[in-house]
Structure 1
Amino acid sequence: MLETKEFDLATTLVQEKMVDAEKVAHVQNSNPLEHALLVLTKTGYNAVPVLDFHGKFEGIISKSHILEAMFGVEKIEVELLEKKTVSDCMDREIPTLLIDDTIEQALHELIDYNFVCVVDEDQQMQGIITRRQLLKEYRNEYYRKRNKS
């Protein structure tokens, strides 16, 4: 029988449950908004991380950020999708986690966000931790314990 490691919020590290950066959809800060909107639409995500050319985390861009950037005084200005870049309207005030933070710390951040980016000490993106995956993990742990009784 396979032994499963207990899911303990205080000792399980973020790096054990995160999605690696290579598997995470993202955009670069210099991309036009049009590209960011295409990425968001094609992936079905509402927001994605924004990185610089070297993979350093800078913030997130969402569909609502892009829509807000298109609002002119009297109309929606679709041409702004080509003129503005991601860095013009992204959110830079976003919490991050370090790979050696605990899942308990991650949960505090995930209350307000669907995902939180995991970075190293130099702000290089290592991956993301999502609210969905932690809820699934917690659910699975609940059923494992229930079935043991």
Structure 2
Amino acid sequence: MLNPVIANMLIENRHHFMISADMVATVSENNPLSHAFLVLTKVRYAKIPVLDHDSKFKGLISLPMITETMLGLDHMSFNSLDTMTVKDVMQTEVATIDDPYDLENVLHLLVDNPFIPVVQDGYFTGIVTRREVMKGINNIGHNIDKNFPQFTIQVQHPDD
């Protein structure tokens, strides 16, 4: 269980943790792999969400998932990029969270994931990123004594 003081300070910034769906690069499950390849190359993200035509979350796609389809035993072929769709290679077993989300669960999930998709009734509403949560933790590290003076500790230096 999170320390209540830390949890409260994180919760104060919770609205900053989620990046809205309209600000996140996504692809459709029916897009050709060539389109996903271009999007991932341009946005320079490791993975991006995959949605259906109704904006429902379906999974994640990454460059390694795409390039794996291009690799043969003795050569590389780009033909599969136009003949296969995102749906053919995407990752479908993905941890997601609802909004409002449980902060402790998010912290556990972010240990192994750079972001967690936020899904409400199946619809993709955004992502919570490790980067944004780390900004919140950084804020706590710098400001806990301002909010909670009882946590101020005088540090003794070895030369004192």
CA contact (8 A) 2:13 2:136 kept: no
For residues 11 and 138 of structure 1, what CA distance do their matches in structure 2 show?
7
For residues 49 and 8 of structure 2, what CA distance do their matches in structure 1 show?
25
5+ residue gaps, structure 1, are 1-5
In structure 2, the CA distance between the partners of 1:13 and 1:55, relative to structure 1 (3 Å rule), is farther
For residues 15 and 56 of structure 1, what CA distance do their matches in structure 2 show?
23
In structure 2, the CA distance between the partners of 1:59 and 1:67, relative to structure 1 (3 Å rule), is same
Q: SS at the partner of 1:111?
A: helix
Whichever structure has more helix as a proportion of its residues is 2
Identity %: 36
The alignment status of 1:20 with 2:27, answered yes or no, reads no
For residues 92 and 59 of structure 1, what CA distance do their matches in structure 2 show?
4
Give, as a single letter, the amino acid of the residue that structure 2 aligns with 1:134.
V
C-alpha displacement at 1:52, in angstroms? 0.2
Q: Give the RMSD, CA atoms, in angstroms.
A: 2.2
CA contact (8 A) 1:10 1:103 kept: no
C-alpha displacement at 1:13, in angstroms? 8.9
Structure-1-length-normalised TM-score: 0.87
The alignment status of 1:128 with 2:116, answered yes or no, reads no
Partner of 2:156: none
For residues 10 and 118 of structure 1, what CA distance do their matches in structure 2 show?
21
C-alpha displacement at 1:110, in angstroms? 1.1
Give, as a single letter, the amino acid of the residue that structure 1 aligns with 2:35.
H
Report matched runs for 1:1-149 at 5 Å.
8=7, 12=11, 16=15, 17-120=17-120, 122-146=121-145, 149=152
Divergent runs of 4+, >2 A: 9-17, 146-149
For residues 123 and 52 of structure 1, what CA distance do their matches in structure 2 show?
10
5+ residue gaps, structure 2, are 153-160
